[in-house]
Amino acid sequence: MTTQQKSYFWIGALVIFVFLLYLLRDVLLPFVAGMAVAYFLDPVCDWLEEHGLSRTAATTLVTVIFFIVFIMVLAWVLPAAFQEIGALAHKLPSYLGALKEKAAPLFKMMQDFFDGQELSVLSDKAAGFTGQIFQTAGQITKRFVSGIGAVLNVISLIVLTPIVTFYMLRDWDRMVAKIDGWLPRPDAETVRKLAREIDATLSGFARGQIMVCLLLGSFYAIGLALTGLEFGLIIGFLTGLISFIPYFGMVIGFAVGMAVAIAQFDSFIWIGMVAAVFGIGQILEGYVLTPKLIGGQVGLHPVWIIFALMAGGALFGFLGVLIAVPVTAVIGVLTRFSLKKYMASPLYDHAHLLAGDDRNDE
């Protein structure tokens, strides 16, 4: 089989895989979730195996403990979170009324600065842009939670994910060995090297990002609560949790937090303190947490992560959000590998190509 034929084979296999993934997107969620949990827990099972437990015993122990802790955390956090969100939604009209009242002098200044026609044009453009943003966000959200599919996804996650996790963990090493045996022998070492790089990239980003989100959420929650901001705990913690989308989480949290602060406080000092919490959080994330916990070796640019999450959510719903970062990590590693090969080839350095032609002429 020639190199061109191999390329056609792998491109065709990739196209078929993506097509099947799209067709089966509604039933794959618990399997992808179980695989993700197994991926993160496999090092724990390996450590227990090294200390005398059988693989089955280690898998059973790790799976049971993980899901018991997970369910306990959800049972503790979700009721309080839903209660806070419900109370915030109940007070939203009063916040909007206070914001409108306090913004009235600003609108008066804008009317004095612009004439009526210019202000109307600006308002129409702003309304249209905002409408497009909310429409796009609404379409993505609708794919997450619409219809009977959302209910079935929740049920399948609760029932099937622990089962999938158990079997994936138990057979993880055997599956890796089996896949390794399928690799084309001339390229096996190259594929192994790429797989190790993908694993390092993905694990480094995912585990580090989880810690960053939890620490940021704790900082924002405590900081906003200390300023006396109403619903500061839930606003701060949710801001940290959605910080896995670079900049998006902070922007949303800052907008909500500042809106509540402006509506609640009459003193600019307290409003400034709320803004300071978000500012310190950004500095903490950019200069301490991200460099220490994730580092600069991950190779996943924030712009690509944002694009991957948005595209994955639009195409595959919540499943797309789950696989967005792993797919981006794989594409990033393969792209860097391809660029390295290209820059070492005569296609990049024309001098090498000419030198090769000269040697052939001789």
- Between the two ends of the chain, the Cα-to-Cα distance in Å is 32
Report d(CA 212, CA 233) in Å as an integer: 17
Q: Residue 97: which H helix or E strand, with range?
A: helix 55-113
pLDDT of residue 165: 92
* CB half-sphere exposure, 224, CA atoms < 13 A: 30
Measured between alpha carbons, how far is 218 from 246 in angstroms, rounded to an integer? 17
- Residues 28 and 323: their CA atoms lie apart, in Å, by 11
Q: Where are the beta strands (DSSP E) in 189-338?
A: none
**CB within 8 Å of 101: residues ≥ 6 apart:** none
Distance CA 71, CA 227 (A): 32
* Cα–Cα distance list, 348 to 228, 302, 361 (Å): 60, 28, 21
What pLDDT was estimated at residue 111?
63
Find out whether 265 and 271 touch, Cβ atoms under 8 Å: yes
Closest alpha carbon to 77 in 265, 280, 217: 217
Return d(Cα 260, Cα 252) in angstroms, integer: 12
Residues 302-320 as b or e (16 or more Cβ within 10 Å = b): eebbeebbbebbebbbbbb
Low-confidence ranges of the chain (pLDDT < 50): 144, 147-148, 353, 357, 361
pLDDT tens per residue across span 122-151:
656 655 555 555 555 555 555 545 544 555
CA distance 56 to 326: 27
All structural domains of the chain with their residue ranges? 20-86+125-182, 185-344
The contacts of residue 164 (CB under 8 Å, 6+ apart) are 30, 31, 33, 34, 35, 38
What DSSP character marks residue 345? Answer: S
Q: DSSP letter at 346?
A: T
The whole-number pLDDT of residue 153 equals: 61
33 is written with which tokens?
Answer: 């979730």
Per-residue confidence (pLDDT) for residue 148, from 0 to 100: 46
Count CB atoms within 10 A of the CB of residue 206.
19
Q: Which residue has the tokens 């909007």?
A: 96
In this prediction, residue 147 carries a pLDDT of 46
Name 242's Cβ contacts closer than 8 Å, sequence gap at least 6: 213, 248, 249, 252, 253
Could you tell me how far CA 187 lies from the centroid of its own chain? 32
Whole-number Å distance between alpha carbons of 340 and 348 = 10
Q: Which residues fall within 8 angstroms of residue 213, CB to CB, at 6 or more apart? A: 240, 241, 242, 243, 244
